[in-house]
Amino acid sequence: MAIGFETLRIAVLGGGVSCEREISLISARQAFDALKQHGLDVVLVDIKSREKESVRHELLSQGADIAFIALHGEFGEDGKIQTILEELDIPYTGSDPRASYLAMDKIASKKIFLREGVPTADFYVCEKGKPCDFPAEYPVVVKPYYAGSSLGVSIVRSREAFARAREDAFSIQSKVLIEDYIEGREFTVGILEDRALGVVEIVPHQGYFDFQTKYTDGQVDFVAPAKLPQPLYEQIQAVSLAAHRALGCRHFSRVDVLINKEGLPFVLEVNSIPGLTSHSLLPLSAHCCGIAFDGLILKMLLLAYHEKKHTQKV
């Protein structure tokens, strides 16, 4: 199997310092196992600090030639670990620091979506300790502006519930995003090498696709590929790819989309480092296109390897 990096040491980065640490460890282990079974030189690196020199030392001590990033949330998806890897001249999977930051910052990404004509729900921003004035039309969605895995997300249907949801979100971060609630069906689309993969419908047994539902067996069904008219299926793929491109993402991502009752798509967010657990949706989206899990992991790594070779030539 001549793929170009047989002699390189591959560091799979997992764990991290965010509240998504345990999920990240699972993603990293599954990526590690997929690469290891191909006989590659792989080491699993548990990132336990956000301190730059500590992380640099860990990466250098492992002799990493290329990094597979399986870190979720803060110091994983926000461009900081990517910046360190660039300073060390270590190629890595996924988007560059700027695109990673923009995808993580829901306020920044939604502003770009609106500017670039990517359909997304109207929104307002509240800051901790400041008045929060917005048109009080319920229901609304309250969420931290800089977190993943639906942590701190609430669907609010009254003023009293809004106060509680806002405080829950503020317990995670100092800014809160308030979005118009779009009632409809939820879908997700994987992006790989600037191509939209299969559309997957997410069908929670009750409520919505929150953190507990995402990572607990038996609480949600996935329909892959989604059962939709072909024009709508392709429209969801098109807006997902447009969102990926609008933020400047590269190699891969996963885009979450809502379809309202009128059949119109609205982009929720772009995940620049999607999960790679048994519950994760990028592998399921890829499977719709005939791409097995280990093939997906190898492709993600190969894109990073080719990115480095292209940069060296330039």
What is the residue range of 166's domain?
123-180
Q: Please tell me whether residues 87 and 149 are part of one structural domain.
A: no
* 22 in any annotated domain: yes
- Angle, helices 80-87 vs 52-61, to 10°: value is 50
Q: How confident is the model at residue 5 (pLDDT cuts 50, 70, 90)?
A: low
pLDDT at 138: 87
Per the listing, tokens 């829901």 go with 106
From the candidates 101, 145, 215, 233, give the one annotated as an active-site residue: 215
260 belongs to the catalytic site: no
| CATH assignment at residue 302 | 3.40.50.20
Q: Does position 66 have pLDDT exceeding 90, yes or no? A: yes
* 270 in any annotated domain: yes
* 135 in any annotated domain: yes
Distance CA 183, CA 157 (A): 12
256 belongs to the catalytic site: yes
20 belongs to the catalytic site: yes
8-state DSSP, 85: H
| SS3 state at 70 | coil
Any alpha helices (H) in 16-124, and if so which ranges?
A: 21-36, 52-61, 80-87, 97-104, 106-116
From the candidates 27, 109, 149, 285, give the one annotated as an active-site residue: 149
65 belongs to the catalytic site: no
Per the listing, tokens 């979005």 go with 179
152 belongs to the catalytic site: no
At 257-298, the pLDDT tens digits run 999 999 999 999 999 999 998 679 999 999 999 999 999 999
294 belongs to the catalytic site: no
| Alpha-carbon Rg for the chain in angstroms | 19
Q: Does position 212 have pLDDT exceeding 80, yes or no? A: no
Domain count, the chain: 3
CA count, 13 A, side-chain hemisphere, 300: 32
6 belongs to the catalytic site: no
From the candidates 95, 269, 285, 305, give the one annotated as an active-site residue: 269
* 2 in any annotated domain: no
Alpha-carbon distances of 38 from 3, 34, 78, 89, 306, rounded to whole Å = 11, 7, 30, 25, 19
